[in-house]
């Protein structure tokens, strides 16, 4: 656990920090004050899909709900020496090779590809079909939705179980982990923005609410982040486990896609600039993806 924290801190420390103002969407919609309203939040879907995680031999160790931890690592995580960022190409884009398992139906494959492509429209991240590269994202249907944080080296599994993970929000959420991001409610400044009610948390799941010494890339805490868990995440008694402050009625964790702040963070972590974001974007690229 400490290892993962160290990795993330290193990762975020290595990114540049800026101070541009961000407009946060007003949250005037339904706040989802009952557990039923939260059925389709990212965290509710993750919890449901990950109910059996760890029961199969070969499942990685998963912490924080859906973050896989490499096993067998002793002292320093190799990731900290290499840097967990994906490398930037001379043209300013970050090309991340991917492979999608044949376990998925054609329709599911299309949804996953749409999730991969969603990064192209707003960032310099370019997911490209695997050719001969060493490091890549290996999208499989394992027993739940999970991902490692940052680039791990070689093929790294991003699991999107066919049962319960093939949704735009979950796909983006897991890919954001692979890009190096953690959950919003573990941010260093979360206690100014949410109150965690550990008394309502399922015993043994308290670690999901641990705070991490993150660097936040000059971006504000974002209730609408696709990385924010819902109000009832890991609740043992149908009572809230996360309450926003000062206004307890603000909607949290109900994003169905990356928020403007999520996008801004990707652009900052990978130092994308506006010229690289739009280049090399051809409308026919979906066809290339689908032929693979």
Q: Which residues bind Zn ion (CB under 5 A)?
A: 66
Q: How far is the CB of 42 from Zn ion (least distance, A)?
A: 8
Report the candidate in 39, 46, 40 with the shortest Cα–Cα distance to residue 205.
Answer: 46
User: Chain-centre distance of CA 38, in angstroms?
Assistant: 19
Task: Output 147 or 267, the one with its CB closest to Zn ion.
Answer: 147
Task: Output 167 or 289, the one with its CB closest to Zn ion.
Answer: 167
Q: What is the dihedral of CA 206, 170, 21, 241, to 10 degrees?
A: -30
In whole angstroms, give the CA distance from residue 265 to residue 274. 14
Task: Output 10 or 64, the one with its CB closest to Zn ion.
Answer: 64
Give the DSSP H or E segment for 195: strand 194-196
User: Chain-centre distance of CA 185, in angstroms?
Assistant: 12
Q: What are phi and psi of 138, to 5 degrees?
A: -110, 100
| 174 annotated active-site | yes
Task: Output 66 or 222, the one with its CB closest to Zn ion.
Answer: 66
Strands, E assignment, 13-161: 61-63, 67-69, 94-100, 125-129, 136-140, 145-147, 155-160
* Annotated binding residue 183: yes
Which residue in the list 47, 120, 174, 184 is annotated as catalytic?
174
Q: How far is the CB of 23 from Zn ion (least distance, A)?
A: 25
Q: Which residue has the closest beta carbon to Zn ion?
A: 66
* Annotated binding residue 173: yes
Q: How far is the CB of 178 from Zn ion (least distance, A)?
A: 10
Q: How far is the CB of 213 from Zn ion (least distance, A)?
A: 18
Structure tokens at 43: 């965290």
Q: What are phi and psi of 26, to 5 degrees?
A: -70, 145
In whole angstroms, give the CA distance from residue 79 to residue 60. 17
Which residues line the annotated binding site for Zn(2+)? 173, 177, 183
Binding site members: 173, 177, 183
* Positions marked active-site: 174
């Amino acid at each position: 656990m400490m290892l993962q924290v160290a990795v993330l801190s290193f990762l975020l420390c290595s990114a540049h920090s800026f101070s541009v103002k961000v407009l946060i969407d007003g949250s005037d919609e339904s706040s989802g004050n009952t557990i039923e309203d939260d059925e389709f939040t990212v965290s509710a879907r993750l919890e449901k899909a990950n109910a059996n995680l760890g029961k199969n031999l070969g499942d990685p160790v998963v912490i924080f709900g859906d973050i896989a931890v490499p096993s067998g690592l002793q002292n320093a995580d190799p990731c900290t020496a290499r840097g967990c960022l994906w490398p930037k190409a001379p043209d300013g884009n970050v090309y991340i090779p991917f492979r999608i398992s044949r376990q998925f139906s054609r329709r599911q494959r299309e949804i996953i590809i749409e999730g991969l492509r969603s990064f192209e429209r707003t960032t310099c991240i370019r997911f490209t079909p695997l050719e001969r590269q060493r490091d890549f994202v290996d999208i499989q249907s394992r027993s739940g939705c999970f991902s490692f944080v940052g680039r791990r080296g070689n093929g790294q599994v991003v699991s999107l179980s066919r049962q319960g993970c093939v949704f735009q929000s979950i796909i983006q959420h897991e890919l954001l982990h692979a890009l190096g991001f953690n959950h919003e409610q573990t941010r260093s400044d979360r206690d100014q923005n949410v109150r965690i009610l550990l008394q309502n948390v399922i015993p043994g799941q308290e670690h999901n609410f641990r705070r991490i010494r993150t660097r936040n890339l000059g971006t504000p805490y974002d209730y609408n982040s696709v990385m924010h868990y819902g109000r009832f995440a890991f609740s043992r008694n149908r009572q809230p486990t996360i309450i926003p402050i000062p206004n307890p009625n603000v909607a949290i964790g109900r994003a169905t896609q990356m928020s403007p702040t999520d996008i801004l963070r990707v652009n900052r972590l990978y130092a994308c600039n506006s010229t690289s974001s739009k280049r090399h974007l051809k409308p026919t690229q979906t066809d290339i993806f689908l032929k693979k």
